[in-house]
Amino acid sequence: MNTEILRPTSPADFERAAQLIRSGELVAFPTETVYGLGANGLDAASCRHIYEAKGRPSDNPLILHIADLAMAQEAVCAVPPTAAHLLTVFAPGPLTVILPKAAHIPDIVTGGLSTVGVRCPDHDIARRFIRTAGVPIAAPSANTSGRPSPTTAATVYADMAGRIPLILDGGSCRLGVESTIVDCTEEGIVTILRPGAVTREMIAAELPHIEVRMDAVLTAADEAPRAPGMKYTHYAPRVPLTVYVGTDVAAALREEILRRTAAGERTAVIASNETLTVLCGIVSAAHTYNCGARGNHSALASCLYDALRRFDNMDVTSLLAEGTGETGLGLAIMNRLRKASGGDVRFV
Ligand code: AMP
Ligand code: MG
């Protein structure tokens, strides 16, 4: 199959993408978080293609992308007051709410669960595409299962060439990490299942009388693995990644690079501008990725997956990355870095 990359502008461009969706095909599309791999969310056979194209286990549910709140209402049984409030404040935007699913949503979308995740992307191309298709678009991130999510049309192409007919090109994704997922099915509680750019602090500020929890599974997966078999691989680069956080990251990285180089390893480093200044001279520029000023979470989030893919085709045997503090967007960044490193996070 030939995979076309199209920068959609005219109604005919969107009609073409919509037509593919209506005929059961997959279309990758840009959002403000990452690129999605979309299918008709009301059609089980179309959604099955997503799992094949990604090589993804089919018990892992998909998110339904909607063009407006009326479309969300059709996909769920009820919108409780907390979910309604969050959607009023944060939609369109990087927030997915989990609600009881409507009967006509196929099981393949929800991984057999009685709940469904819905999200309205804050991206003109995405919403125009969904509106033209006229159905909710079921979509995970448009990467091969386990790999870093794509934030450009070119990275979608790297993973999906020959597997899908069309990639809508919207340039680089503004935010760079996947949406915050909140479970709103329990009365009086919202549970964050995945941290994102709608932060825990932002949600708590909107819901002062509601308990905002972090999911137990998420916290467990965020701990260092207790045995090698428990390693969780997601967002993973091709070579092993080790993450450093703390007050003296530059010195710790310096020591580690020297040690690895002496042992014959070729290590690349993903770090802040400040840290790379210290490392200049012991690691070549080609083996570094500059994520901007230290503590600038939005700069780090928007380049994180590009950084994790940058050294894919280079002669590199391991990766080192500088982490960050876990407040605000930092929580989402560290959640992805923990998973990308299989829990290999060192505090220095
Ligand atoms: P991705 O496939 O990379 O876009 O991520 C989608 C995420 O949404 C996965 O982590 C899913 O497990 C999660 N998700 C989607 N629907 C549900 C649901 N009904 N309940 C819990 N998690 C969900
Ligand atoms: Mg994903």
Residues 118 and 253 in one domain: no
pLDDT in tens, 10-68: 999 999 999 999 999 999 999 999 999 999 999 999 999 999 999 988 888 999 999 99
CATH number for 183: 3.90.870.10
In a domain, 221, yes or no: no
In a domain, 232, yes or no: no
* CA–centroid distance, residue 19 to ligand 2 (Å): 25
In a domain, 234, yes or no: no
**Region class of 271: left (phi > 0), else alpha (psi between -120 and 50), else beta:** beta
Q: Mark the ranges of the chain whose per-residue pLDDT is less than 50.
A: 223-232
Residues 295 and 330 in one domain: yes
Q: Which atom number of ligand 1 is nearest to the Cα of residue 115?
A: 19
Cβ atoms of residues 22 and 185 within 8 Å: no
pLDDT of the residue at 228: 37
In a domain, 79, yes or no: yes
Q: Which atom number of ligand 1 is nearest to the Cα of residue 117?
A: 16
pLDDT of the residue at 345: 97
Last residue of a domain, one of 197, 214, 231: 214
In a domain, 191, yes or no: yes
**CB neighbours of residue 2 within 10 Å:** 7
* CA–centroid distance, residue 78 to ligand 2 (Å): 27
Calculate the CA 220 to chain-centre distance: 19
The residue contributing the CA closest to ligand 1 atom 19 is: 116
**Residues with a CB atom less than 6 Å from ligand 1:** 60-61, 63, 98, 110, 113, 115-117, 140-141, 178, 181, 193-194
Residues 249 and 193 in one domain: no
pLDDT of the residue at 215: 85
What is the total count of domains within the chain? 2
Residues 148 and 283 in one domain: no
Residues 313 and 208 in one domain: no
Handedness of CA 239, 233, 64, 179 (dihedral sign): negative
Last residue of a domain, one of 175, 197, 214: 214
Long-range contact pairs involving 47-53 (C-beta distance under 8 Å, separation at least 24) = 47/106, 47/108, 47/109, 47/138, 48/108, 49/24, 49/25, 50/26, 50/138, 50/139, 50/140, 51/108, 53/26, 53/160, 53/163, 53/164
Report d(CA 34, CA 174) in Å as an integer: 8
Structural domain boundaries, residue 78: 4-214
In a domain, 236, yes or no: no
pLDDT of the residue at 178: 98
CATH number for 324: 3.40.50.11030
Residues 198 and 302 in one domain: no
pLDDT of the residue at 230: 38
* CA–centroid distance, residue 264 to ligand 1 (Å): 41
pLDDT of the residue at 217: 61
Residues 51 and 178 in one domain: yes
In a domain, 69, yes or no: yes
